[in-house]
Structure 1
């Protein structure tokens, strides 16, 4: 079974069919008009000859008719009442060619009888005058005209068919581009577009509409892919988060259960130290739970109470607290500029600066100096906490802001009572992002570390830079 023909073939066939019908009608009309014109000429010639012959018959010597010279293709006969030919007259082309039998009841108007154009004129007193013209010349002229029409029409049809095919191919070329684009998109290339054509044409408007639709489809698919990728990443992070949280919560719970088992097995033991250890583990577990709740709230992106906050006051309080906790360290604060006012939640910004300072104190050896620098850079306020500790490797720099990641140990700690939960810097990153800022670290093994937080300055705050 043959399939349905393509649109190009259909259009070409329709154009050729319409062209053939038009040329046929024109040819038939032309031949008919020419034949009618020639017959009118023959009839006129018959009428003139008949009138001349009738005038000759009305003369005193009617048989002088035999001296009449006839046109080459004409024949005339004077017949008696019984139809017998009395006087025959013939042109040179029809000499010896008899007239066909005439049907009875013919009128005085010329009619065509077996290749002759014949007129019968009745005479007074009986008899008739028959005048006829051989139609061979008319048939020849009409046949030649028909041949010219057929050959000319066929040639014209071929030329117009070639032109029509070229025009249709050119007109449908954008549709072929659309087809190829659709095939590429079906194969997975959503970035393909239909080439731009003349927007005033139907195909051009179709291509423009398809490009708009394809752009929306590509955007939707990209958003869907990004959503699926984000969902997979979020699921992976959630599994890792649950596993790490379970591990971190299990550690203090195991310690509490161990102390309880020890006291149950040795009831005479002094409970004071055991209760102190239980309380320490409970406090640590409570701190971990508070951090987890904080991260959960930050993940929900709840709106915060934003108001102008002075970073200098927050930094000064953090440095003051650190000097009290570590009096043997050289902890300094330097400010480059004034009026470092940002818009944010003061409590959370204090926690950001405090966590950075605590991180520096916790992960550097005793006596290592720590410095905090505040400065403005364009439309942002920058807080830097730098230390001269052991520094970080490239892998540690990439993962230092991940939840539950610790440089010294990813899961456990050698000292159950020391170290953090691995959430401090993760909380810093989440809070800074919630304030529309950025956080980063610069470090090299053995070269210390610089943690840098950039927050947008509050609007309508004029910054006066200090001396370099």
Structure 2
């Protein structure tokens, strides 16, 4: 059996402490509000009864007040009100108190405890909330209300508080321990997955329960990071293999021509051929560096960029090339401003145009469109060339990948890869579809 960890116990104690404090505060607030309500009602009842006796004194005199008090205390039950009327010497005239309470030495409203006798001779220790007034210069009147509810409520409050804190403590410990263990279990799973991922299991992922809570969101974020690292590693592995293959061929040709030149083979164009091979190597290296720079772009480099101006400049740059090859290059743009890196956005447009011009036969057409859609902006470069088979559209954007039909042409196989990476850096997506005929390259920029 696995013992509870210190972190789980600490988390359970903190949750329990918070629950206990909240329970104590809630019950105390309720108790104070109830006490205030009972006191207000008791004082209102006492004030009403006192006002009635004062009014009778003013209209009928002290003897009428004494008669009213005597009738009130003579009822065959434990009376709700306490009365005592005394003369100037302090002798009781009427009421159910044997003497004037020592606690009351002035007029006003206050609470005290005393013994109250019923008509049957039974004596009770009661709590009284009373008001005292002067009736002229000869009499004092005390009118009180039994306020044992206040004491009873206090006892009930103490009992309820004790039971509530006990129950809250037990439930809080159980729930807190369960919740802490759940969080620690996720951390354990994340730590284990990280160790396995670091050990070479690049397909390792954290489980997602589907509850949509903070653990699922964190697991999805970590899984996205794992997937991105796996993609980069696979891309690096593929790029390394492809780069070695693409560099081996021109280097082998250069070596062969150098050997022939050393043997006096008489090939006058050997130098020109080697220059072409070296140019191809330099293009491959430059494209590789350009791809690396695109992938390491920081968010701090982003700023407002006029994408429409970039598209127009790129089209104007490639228009002479398209005219030389007999291609009809048209453009349709709308004002679009996004946050990004100008050089990378220019690379996207230039690579897509270069790809379309290279593979569109004479007499074909290329159309560049930039506009708005429902949730962002869309850049489309559509040509009437041979296109790409549907099952190869995802594969062709892989680094150093060129279809067999384009192996004879110049290029490093990185053009579409650079465009895809630059689009991904900007939160956009590059999609290749059939233009019927030709290729339709669509870059969708989400609205931010």
> What TM-score do you get using the length of structure 2 for normalisation?
0.48
> What TM-score do you get using the length of structure 1 for normalisation?
0.46
Bigger Cα Rg: 1
